[in-house]
Structure 1
């Protein structure tokens, strides 16, 4: 500790402290002894009215029923009528706190009594069955860490956008439940069943057609998230969770699965989640989330200082593991391999980092990811050229940040015309 700082602290204490005051306030006073760098000792009394906000001089809050964040932590979601976005720039590690997990719903969040909720599986099966929530919890459980992302997770156009505003419709949790394949075995799925309809119990009665192959693969009927029951906005008491697939297919408040030999072409998968592409065609059932990355530090509205900076961010792919993240600190002219933090999981957010010495020049920093299929995250221009259309779903362009000479950071919208 510097001498100047010690003097500053000492000056906050009374100049004189009489023996009477010291003894009279003994029950509510403490003695601070500060050893200076030169071996000098400063001893002063701390009376009760000088305690102020010093947490070592007064009792804290008692234990509570539910934990809470520090009042100094201001992380919140950004809600709208139908969704709320996770503050990606505020996170450490790869698990999203349950109460900061993004939301997307079509008719609000229903309040469902788990003791009355049931899941019906019928259609092309040998033995149609109804499962209560208690029934589902009797089966062998599985847990896996995986991301969830809305297929409409992209915003651009303005410089004053945060990672939360650009792509905050993605989050990651540990999901616990029963494998859908276990329930398929229980009801006896017939060989000619190739699709199933998943139906939610909200006011929208959201329905999506899902290939049976995905159900046999890694689908989960989830009832827990991050070690606790699902939050209502995440589908309490049970939801369908499809690792790596667009979020709307993971039907929440799940109440029915119907097996069939063809897709259902429901309202939600024809009026929505379908988009025009080249040659007058439309793309439907584009389930997989494409590989994507974003730098979360530094980003708007953060500021940086000259010197060594650890660039940090998130990367993910719905088609498997991330194998490489590259970072450019000169507007894409040169790229360097970033370090991937463990664990690097399948269909999961991973953290990357890269050390950069900033000398005060104005520049742009970017990241791009490659997954185990060999797919590399494109620019916005490359994305539009490949699809033959502008906008739509599954937008995963490289995100650039402008670093100004004063250390300010702004989003750099891509120009492609």
Structure 2
């Protein structure tokens, strides 16, 4: 649809307001403040689903309210296993030891003095969309909300590992956090020497406590549980440690009884964020379908949208620039005629991987897992304008 036709469709629906009487503002506004706040008219919040042990809980990003590709730090999803620790950065240290020539302890002040890097990356919990396997959720915040994308600033882990002198026998690292359960994950040395960031800033300011203050790992493209928060210790070892979070948890039980383990990479995935579950279109007319796509393997190459339940597909437009291993915003002009339709999106990443249908994913992996769901989502728009998860 050409831009002129789009504007004509939108403006044609606007009612003539007649004579405009605007006398302008007549009162003074608020004074400057030490830290910015959003408008009182903005109500978007994270969705929380607390358990009987709320410290081991999560919250979900309101993707339906998002613009562009960056997630505000205040709305970035959370996942904690033993609550959010309070850490004084002046007392916090990072120990790097194990199979190294020169074990070192870094203070935060010393980390700040090192050469820094800034990159935009998504973080997605491998349990994101987990209920879509069997009991689909009603809204995009609940189906896909354990996802966020930020600019992360910190120090390359490879720089610190080079400084301590990793021994040739060391094939893995163990990263451990300073939370109550000392959450830890095994990460191959090859990845540790590649693109991992020891991050102390998110979106231009210090990382917030729920995101790992004062320092965390950012492991581009890999499941969120490996992005260890409140990072306190890295140990170079010769094999994975087979901890709780990589044996009884964060493994994928297959139909034959075997389990996929160390399924680190988050595969290509997309979802339409508008219109999406529990939205209500006011009536027929022009709308912009929009959504997000991402892949742990690199750049999103294309996104296609179907407005007829998958019978045919149209190429979506991208918001540029696109970044590898980051959220990508896509859009498609759409004129709704008031009939029932089912909207779907699917993406292809730069490796050629195509996002699978829900049916194909279940056929391949069965229904014994709750991790790494990346099937196509379908939103059903009813003739009254209401929108529902077509699989719910």
Q: Same fold (TM over 0.5)?
A: yes
Structure 1 partner of 2:6: none
Bigger radius of gyration among the two: 1
Structure 2 partner of 1:139: 114
Q: 1:3 to 1:105 in 2, by over 3 A?
A: closer
Q: Which among 93, 103, 109 is matched to residue 78 of structure 2?
A: 103
Residues 8-87 of structure 1 mapped to structure 2, 5 A cutoff: 56-79=25-48, 80=50, 81=54, 82-87=57-62
Q: 1:241 to 1:106 in 2, by over 3 A?
A: same
Q: State the alpha-carbon separation in 2 of the partners of residues 102 and 199 from structure 1.
A: 21
* Secondary structure of 2:91's aligned partner: coil
Once the two structures are TM-superposed, the CA of residue 197 in structure 1 deviates from its matched residue by 0.4
Q: State the alpha-carbon separation in 2 of the partners of residues 322 and 407 from structure 1.
A: 31
- What stretches of structure 1 of length at least 5 have no aligned partner? 10-31, 34-54
Once the two structures are TM-superposed, the CA of residue 299 in structure 1 deviates from its matched residue by 1.2
Structure 1 partner of 2:322: 344
- The answer on 1:371 being equivalent to 2:349 is yes
* Secondary structure of 1:56's aligned partner: coil
Is the Cα contact below 8 Å between 2:254 and 2:369 reproduced in 1?
no
Is the Cα contact below 8 Å between 1:160 and 1:301 reproduced in 2?
no
Q: 1:327 to 1:204 in 2, by over 3 A?
A: same
Structure 1 partner of 2:200: 223
Once the two structures are TM-superposed, the CA of residue 4 in structure 1 deviates from its matched residue by 6.8
- The answer on 1:163 being equivalent to 2:132 is no
Q: State the alpha-carbon separation in 1 of the partners of residues 288 and 188 from structure 2.
A: 42
Is the Cα contact below 8 Å between 2:137 and 2:143 reproduced in 1?
no
* Secondary structure of 1:197's aligned partner: strand
Q: Which among 79, 82, 91 is matched to residue 66 of structure 2?
A: 91
Q: State the alpha-carbon separation in 2 of the partners of residues 300 and 319 from structure 1.
A: 28
Is the Cα contact below 8 Å between 2:185 and 2:228 reproduced in 1?
yes
Q: Which among 190, 210, 216 is matched to residue 239 of structure 1?
A: 216
Is the Cα contact below 8 Å between 2:63 and 2:141 reproduced in 1?
yes
Structure 2 partner of 1:128: 103
Q: State the alpha-carbon separation in 1 of the partners of residues 295 and 380 from structure 2.
A: 25
- Give me the CA root mean square deviation: 1.8
Is the Cα contact below 8 Å between 2:270 and 2:346 reproduced in 1?
yes
Structure 1 partner of 2:241: 264
* Secondary structure of 1:331's aligned partner: coil
Q: State the alpha-carbon separation in 2 of the partners of residues 77 and 375 from structure 1.
A: 31
Q: After superposition, what is the alpha-carbon deviation per residue over 1:227-258, rounded to whole angstroms, capped at 9, x for unaligned?
A: 00000000000101100000000100000000
* Secondary structure of 1:166's aligned partner: helix
Once the two structures are TM-superposed, the CA of residue 413 in structure 1 deviates from its matched residue by 1.1
- The answer on 1:312 being equivalent to 2:290 is yes
Is the Cα contact below 8 Å between 1:158 and 1:411 reproduced in 2?
no
Q: 1:211 to 1:158 in 2, by over 3 A?
A: closer
Q: State the alpha-carbon separation in 1 of the partners of residues 16 and 292 from structure 2.
A: 42
Structure 1 partner of 2:9: none
Structure 2 partner of 1:299: 276
TM-score (norm 2): 0.91
* Secondary structure of 1:146's aligned partner: strand
Is the Cα contact below 8 Å between 2:255 and 2:368 reproduced in 1?
no
Once the two structures are TM-superposed, the CA of residue 133 in structure 1 deviates from its matched residue by 0.6
Q: State the alpha-carbon separation in 2 of the partners of residues 122 and 2 from structure 1.
A: 69
Structure 1 partner of 2:181: 204
Is the Cα contact below 8 Å between 2:302 and 2:316 reproduced in 1?
yes
Q: Which among 257, 276, 286 is matched to residue 253 of structure 2?
A: 276
Once the two structures are TM-superposed, the CA of residue 159 in structure 1 deviates from its matched residue by 7.8
* Secondary structure of 1:280's aligned partner: coil
Structure 2 partner of 1:43: none
Q: Which moved more, 1:96-105 or 1:382-391?
A: 382-391
Question: Which structure carries more relative contact order (alpha carbon 8 Å, separation 6+)?
Answer: 2
Q: State the alpha-carbon separation in 1 of the partners of residues 338 and 100 from structure 2.
A: 66
- The answer on 1:383 being equivalent to 2:361 is yes
Q: State the alpha-carbon separation in 2 of the partners of residues 366 and 223 from structure 1.
A: 37
Once the two structures are TM-superposed, the CA of residue 303 in structure 1 deviates from its matched residue by 2.1
Q: After superposition, what is the alpha-carbon deviation per residue over 1:318-361, rounded to whole angstroms, capped at 9, x for unaligned?
A: 01110010100001111111111112110000000111221111
Paired residues in the alignment total 370
- What stretches of structure 2 of length at least 5 have no aligned partner? 1-13
Is the Cα contact below 8 Å between 2:252 and 2:368 reproduced in 1?
no
- The answer on 1:288 being equivalent to 2:256 is no
Once the two structures are TM-superposed, the CA of residue 278 in structure 1 deviates from its matched residue by 4.0
Residues 326-345 of structure 1 mapped to structure 2, 5 A cutoff: 326-345=304-323
